[in-house]
Amino acid sequence: MRKSKPVTADPSKTINIWDNLPDFPVLSSKPKAWSGILVEYYHHLANELTSPVLSQHLITLNFGQPYNLVQRLDGRIYQAQVPKGSIILTPAGQPGEWIWDNEVDVVHLCLEPEFVAKVATEAVEGGSTQIEILNSFATPDPQIQQIGQLLVAELESEKLGNRLYAESLANVLAVHLLRNYGTVKQTVQHYSGGLSQLRLKRAVEYIQEHLEQDISIEAIAAELDMSSYHFARLFKQSTGLAPHQYLIKCRVERAKELLLQGEMAIAEIATQVGFYDQSHLNRHFKRIVGVSPKIIQQNSKNVLWISSNVQDCPA
């Protein structure tokens, strides 16, 4: 069994400990600069790690085979086998030590405390800012496992629109932490009724005007003078689609319009409406319309049949 040199970070600093690991991440969201969250996929050798105070709430999700872990945290020792899909949750502001005995595949989900506090202020009745996240050790959590899988898929895809989707998932993850691992006394609110017609119209106009860009959920919410948390939930209630799903649908609709004009190549249309490449357009177009863009282009004279297969984005 290979074993890396133990890592001990500078105890005088509050840090993101994963910046000090000898391993390099297989995947990382750093270049994408997602708001509030850092996602990194690592293959760690057997190792031990001593950390001073963490600057972020750290969720370590086991993506591979079970491994044995010893954790020293807040004066206590925890020891267990960590099954696939289980998490180690270490709150910001705590020092710790970890020892694992095998090679592991893990995803580190690092949430900024300010981001979690902001979500709490937006989502909790009374706007509570007294938030404490509790540590959790070798805990199965299917919802975090699913969120982690979706975020890793976004890192692997390299497609436009990832930012909107990833930041939506980060909001969901923060609310999940508040509900299940937080000391918030108030009940996380559930909102109903959807957006007003005026706000919905403004949101749709903003999306349609920025189809070719990697739109962030914060940008749309700011346009409506709303929080990201409220906007995402009310938008879905109004449209039946999450913002990132609606964005894809509008891109497909715009692509359909350009295909009917018959003046541009499919690859050119794909990039103009915000898809990463032609194959990215093909996949979503066929899923929504039922046929490929090429078939639409070849049958562009039959406008009535084509239009009946895609519901227009409301203006």
Asked if the model's pLDDT at residue 160 lies above 60, the reply is no
Q: Where are the alpha helices (DSSP H) in the chain?
A: 113-123, 142-157, 162-181, 197-209, 217-223, 228-239, 243-261, 266-272, 278-289, 293-298, 303-307
Per the CB < 8 A criterion, the answer to whether 211 and 250 are in contact is: yes
Bridge partners, residue 3, by sequence: 46
The mean per-residue pLDDT over the stretch 169-176 comes to: 93
Asked if the model's pLDDT at residue 5 lies above 80, the reply is no
What is this structure's pTM?
0.68
Residue carrying structure tokens 């346009």: 223
Taking the domain 250-307, which CATH number applies?
A: 1.10.10.60
Q: Where are the domains of the chain?
A: 7-181, 197-244, 250-307
CATH for 197-244 (3.60.9.10, 1.10.10.60, 3.20.20.220, 3.40.50.10740):
1.10.10.60
pLDDT of residue 300: 66
Asked if CATH classification 2.60.40.10 holds for the domain at 7-181, the reply, yes or no, is no
Of the two residues 27 and 309, the one the predictor is more confident about is: 27
Two domains, one topology: 7-181 and 197-244: no
CA atoms in the 13 A half-sphere facing the CB of 205: 8
Backbone angles phi, psi at 26, to 5 degrees: -70, -40
- Look at residue 71 and give its three-state secondary structure: strand
pLDDT tens, residue by residue, 264-297? 999 999 999 988 889 989 999 999 988 999 888 8
- Look at residue 72 and give its three-state secondary structure: strand
Q: Hey, what amino acid is at 199? A: R
pLDDT > 70: what percent of the chain? 82
In this structure, the number of other CB atoms found within 10 A of the CB of residue 104 comes to 21
The mean per-residue pLDDT over the stretch 205-225 comes to: 88
Per the CB < 8 A criterion, the answer to whether 215 and 274 are in contact is: no
pLDDT band at 17 (very low <50, low <70, confident <90, very high): low
